[in-house]
Structure 1
Amino acid sequence: MISGCMIHVCLMPDVPMTFISGKLQFAPDVAMDELEKEGSVNECEGIKEKPNKFKEIFEESCTTLKDLFHRCMDIRQILMCPINIYLGIEIGFLYSELTRAFASCIKGVSQIGICTIINALANGTMCYFGGRLMGRIGLRWFLAFAFIGDMAIYSVCAAWVPTEATSWLVYLIFISLGVTGGCWSLLVPNLYAEAFKENRELSYTMWSSLFAIGFTLQFAWSTLLCVRDKIYVQLGLLVLTVLSVAILRRRMKRNIEI
């Protein structure tokens, strides 16, 4: 990100500023006498001195980091951490473990693409229709559906002894995880919108950062833990996620009543 900002600053062309029709506008590569002939220039203050972009970027970065630090101390953000990290771990589990330990080992490497496609289709379908469903049944029941669905998926993955007759369950697992993944993708932004109405942009930055932490964590322990141990860890984190969201919504409801 920092290197991208530096490249942007270095390659950004210098654009002179002029007062055109009483408003400060950009006038790149346009001779001032030509603009005066057209009668469009009422006042010209000349080319302004180029600001120190490096200093501005540095100050904005420091301000953002300071705001992020204060946000990390907010009890609402602390309660939102488990669901963000869990979602990153779940997506990482899909691509690092389900494709390797289930799709390739049970159905063959050639079926990994098909399993990934049906998972994406299920996820997209749930995201499309889930918003209307959540509006009708409420966020609480939507959360309960995602919780029960993931509990069932992890239980099957931990207890299932694959055979040729039951190998079709691999497709069902990918479809089910796509449906619950769509539920979580709808729950997180709605929870952030309710909890942080004063500064949603900063909240979404925290959301992305915590999601990346969970995703990285899943791949970091990929070779250290066996699949069954990872499933147990994710079951515990799933329970913690639901409890933290329930506490958060309880606090928000109490604040509204007060």
Structure 2
Amino acid sequence: MDVVNHYFGVFFLIYQSSGVWGNLISSLVFQQSTTKDVFGNESYSHCGTKNCPDFTASSNNANISTSVSSVSDNLRYTLMGIYTDQIDISEEQKNEGDGKISVWKSLLATFNQLRDIRQCLLIPLTMFSGFQQGFLSSDYTKAYVTCTLGIRFVGYVMICFGATNSICSMVFGKLSQYTGRIALFMLAALTSASCIIALLLWCPHPSQFAVFFIFPALWSMSDAICQTLLSAFYGVLFDDNKEAAFSNYRVWESLGFLTAFAYSNFLCVYVKLYIVLAIMILGMSLYLVVELLEYKKSLSRLENTATKAAKQVHLRVSSITSQSIELKL
């Protein structure tokens, strides 16, 4: 288990670092905008948890929308060109018939995996990983960063998230062999809950510049623990069916991410924070149930092993005793 945790720690160190370079490029591109973001004092009162869809559509949001509209079409087309170009690069030439069979087999195996109660219990925690990433990428950057500092700082905030996530993935992947899995998951839950409560109470203002980077750093620490240790837990828990298990992991994480983006333009920020908090509490609670089931199963295996060993000792002693009696006779 320690080796698996360390492996996923190294993997997510490399994987999450990609966000640093991507956001660095976008930040430098957006930085070229000559128009500065100028906000009236009344605008800040509608940032943070008070940012709602009706406000976004109202005239009170005119100052905030200026920061978005100030981005030139050339910048938009440049970024879209970079993103869409990756589609052609990633295309692979495959046999169409074999591809269809493989897809259907994978899909069937993924749904068959849901017959395992442990897999079903881990779904909320897996979705929470997607929910918290979706909230940070969609709502935090819009309602807190763009609303208060301007769009040109979004990339830098996400760089902070990606860099901290990479480092924490490596650190906690190694640290888990000393602390255990449950302790780190509880740390992740405590960190996420603290961030959510703080975001509910915080009224963002440009004078609190450093705070805008503290939240992504703490959020990334929680995300690093969840992704690294949960991936390792999947690998150990479903050792006999890893492909279907990791397919489920990605499906439910992506569904959480998709759901967070889907309701982004329909709910107020404070409602979204309560949703993330509820998913986290449910996910962590059911995760502990899985740990309890595994603990009972390990105790049962130990008892069976001890019983078999005791029987073997008893048979051996009986054999020696009978041989001694025969010799005496």
Q: CA deviation at 1:113?
A: 1.4
Higher relative contact order (CA 8 A, sep 6+): 2
Which structure: greater strand fraction? 1
Amino acid at match of 1:130: F
TM-score (norm 1): 0.77
Deviations along 1:38-74, one digit per CA (max 9) or x if unpaired, are xxxxxxxxxxxxxxxx2x5444444333322221121
State the shift of 1:159 in Å: 1.1
Amino acid at match of 1:196: F
Q: Map 1:33-52; keep pairs closer than 5 Å.
A: none
2:166 matched to 1:124? yes
Q: Tell me the CA shift for residue 168 of structure 1.
A: 2.7
Does residue 203 in structure 1 map to residue 245 in structure 2?
Answer: yes
Shift of 1:107: 2.0
Q: Residue type matched to 2:95 in 1?
A: V
User: Could you say what secondary structure the match of 1:141 adopts?
Assistant: helix
CA deviation map 1:5-56 (0-9, x unaligned) = 995216xxxxxxxxxxxxxxxxxxxxxxxxxxxxxxxxxxxxxxxxxxx2x5
Q: 1:252 aligns with which of 283, 294, 303?
A: 294
Paired residue type of 1:9: N
2:95 counterpart of 1:9: yes
Quote the residue 2:326 is aligned against. none
Say which SS state the counterpart of residue 265 (structure 2) adopts.
coil
CA RMSD of aligned residues (A): 1.9
Provide the secondary structure at the position in 2 that maps to 1:222.
coil
The within-5 A match list for 1:214-225 is 214-225=256-267
Q: Distance in 2 between matches of 1:59 and 1:6?
A: 16
Specify the alignment match of 1:140 in structure 2: 182
Quote the residue 1:30 is aligned against.
none
1:184 counterpart = 2:270: no
Larger proportion of helix: 2
Identity of aligned residues (%): 20
- The answer to whether the aligner puts 1:237 opposite 2:279 as a matched pair is yes
Aligned partner of 1:144: which letter?
M
Query: What stretches of structure 2 of length at least 5 have no aligned partner?
Result: 1-89, 301-329
Query: What amino acid is the match of 1:198?
Result: D
Supply the distance in 2 between the matched residues of 1:147 and 1:9 (Cα, whole angstroms).
45
* Aligned AA (1:223): N
Q: Are the aligned partners of 1:86 and 1:237 in contact in 2 as well (CA < 8 Å)?
A: yes
Structure 1 residues 60 and 108: alpha-carbon distance in aligned structure 2, compared to 1, 3 A threshold: closer
The aligned amino acid for 2:185 is: L
Q: 1:192 touches 1:200 (CA, 8 Å); kept in 2? A: yes
Equivalent residue for 2:115?
73
* 8 Å contact from structure 1 (residues 126, 182) kept in 2: yes
Whether the aligned pair in 1 keeps the contact of 2:123 and 2:252 (CA below 8 Å) is yes
Letter in 2 for 1:234: V
- Superposed CA deviations along residues 194-219 of structure 1, whole A, max 9, x for unmatched, are 32111112111111111111111011
1:106/1:167 contact within 8 Å kept: no
Provide the C-alpha distance between the structure 2 equivalents of 1:5 and 1:166, rounded to a whole number of angstroms.
45
TM-score with structure 2 length normalisation? 0.61
Q: Please, which runs of 5 or more residues in structure 1 have no aligned partner?
A: 11-53
- CA distance in 1: counterparts of 2:215 and 2:166, whole angstroms: 16
Q: What are the superposed Cα offsets for residues 226-258 of structure 1, whole Å, 9 maximum, x if unpaired?
A: 110000011010000110110001101111111
Q: Residue type matched to 1:210 in 2?
A: W
Q: CA offsets, 1:61-111, max 9 Å, x none?
A: 443333222211210110110111111111111110111111111222221
